Amino acid sequence: MNWYKRWQALWDPDRYHGWGKTQNYFEGWYFKVVSPGEDYAFAFIPGISMPATGKAHAFIQVLDGMQSTATYHRFKPADFQPSDQKFALQLAENAFAADHLQVDLPGLRGHLQFSGLTPWPRMLYAPGIMGWFSFVPFMECYHGVVSVNHRISGHLEIAGKRVDFDGGKGYIEKDWGRSFPNAWIWMQSNHFGPDESVSLMASVANIPWVGSHFVGYIVGFLWEGKIYRFATYTGAKMKAVLRDDREELGFKDGRHELRITAHKGAGGELVSPIAGEMTGKVNESMQARLEVRFFRRGQLLYEGTGRNAGLEVAGLTKSLLTDTWRR
């Protein structure tokens, strides 16, 4: 039955994919929550690690975006209880799903509800954010987006203090496979001034491919109710330049162009998977700023700056860079 559960998950990337896996495998979800006053920001990352040794464990990582600190909480594999019907995960006294999370961790507990989710558009040939690459069975790492933008209600108790999240904003994504890439740039924000409908996620990575590799990228820009996609599989082109104090990315297709300048911020150190084992390190900021300009046939349609932005620049990033347009 495990093959059938994995087949179902292929068409619903949000749910758990690791049925029957025991080694060289990881899976994790990323819940970003920001309070309405933007004075509290957290990323909750529940997941499962299955290294080659067979000594699996479950975990919840917590990134405190304002304090720039991260904590790692280990659990027994038996505590990891995913649903085989939808995306829903019970992890000891903690629970995660597309429309809520519940945490009961040292110094941090509470329940948050999510509404007005904005999922990535799904099509027959592209069940998720990876497009037709979703069907390739030997990818090192798969990526999914559950919701690019939604509202939060509820509260958290943080070191004994009750913090109200009613009216806050959130974002949910996930990864699964063997390892993170050896180089990637990732950024995300849905705090663009008073316009609640604007959100951005951009990811560029070095992808192993049949004895070689290529630079793959996936970008989603939510504006006026529509997600504009720029990706390797859509035939778009990209540029990427790293400066000492910022990252400059560009993406374009036949009609639209997106230019991003990411300004770094203080971050905390998260743990990342290598061959299913959580032994890698990556620094993630939740205090970055993303300057965004969006064009249609050369005409500027939108210009704004995203706050509370997640930003990761990790690994051998030189392989990702190009100051001229390329696919």
Question: Mean pLDDT over residues 40-62, rounded?
Answer: 97
Per-state percent for the chain, helix, strand, coil, to nearest 5: 5, 60, 30
Counting Cα atoms < 13 Å in the Cβ hemisphere of 4 gives 3
CB of 33 closer than 8 Å to CB of 168 = yes
Q: Looking at the predicted structure, is the pLDDT value of residue 213 above 80?
A: yes
Question: Mean pLDDT over residues 9-22, rounded?
Answer: 96
| Least confident window among 23-37, 62-76, 207-221, 247-261 | 207-221
pLDDT at 196: 73
Of the candidates 127, 154, 143, the one whose C-alpha atom is nearest the C-alpha of residue 33 is 154
Query: In the structure, what pLDDT confidence band is assigned to residue 211 with cuts at 50, 70 and 90?
Result: confident
Both structure tokens of 253: 């297709």
pLDDT digits (tens, 9 = 90+) for 157-196: 999 999 999 999 999 999 999 999 999 999 999 999 876 7
pLDDT digits (tens, 9 = 90+) for 63-89: 999 999 999 999 999 999 999 999 999
CA pseudo-torsion sign 6, 8, 11, 14: negative
Contacts of 139 (CB under 8 A, 6+ apart): 130, 133, 177, 207
pLDDT digits (tens, 9 = 90+) for 186-205: 999 999 987 678 999 999 99
Question: Mean pLDDT over residues 280-308, rounded?
Answer: 97
Angstrom distance (rounded) from CA 280 to CA 50: 14
Counting Cα atoms < 13 Å in the Cβ hemisphere of 114 gives 23
pLDDT at 158: 97
Angstrom distance (rounded) from CA 204 to CA 240: 9
Chosen CATH of 2-326 out of 3.40.50.300, 3.90.79.10, 1.20.1250.20, 2.40.370.10: 2.40.370.10
pLDDT at 280: 96
Coil, strand or helix at 303: strand
Query: In the structure, what pLDDT confidence band is assigned to residue 124 with cuts at 50, 70 and 90?
Result: confident
Q: What is the mean pLDDT of the chain?
A: 95
CB of 44 closer than 8 Å to CB of 60 = yes
Question: Is the pTM higher than 0.95?
Answer: yes
Both structure tokens of 230: 């720029």
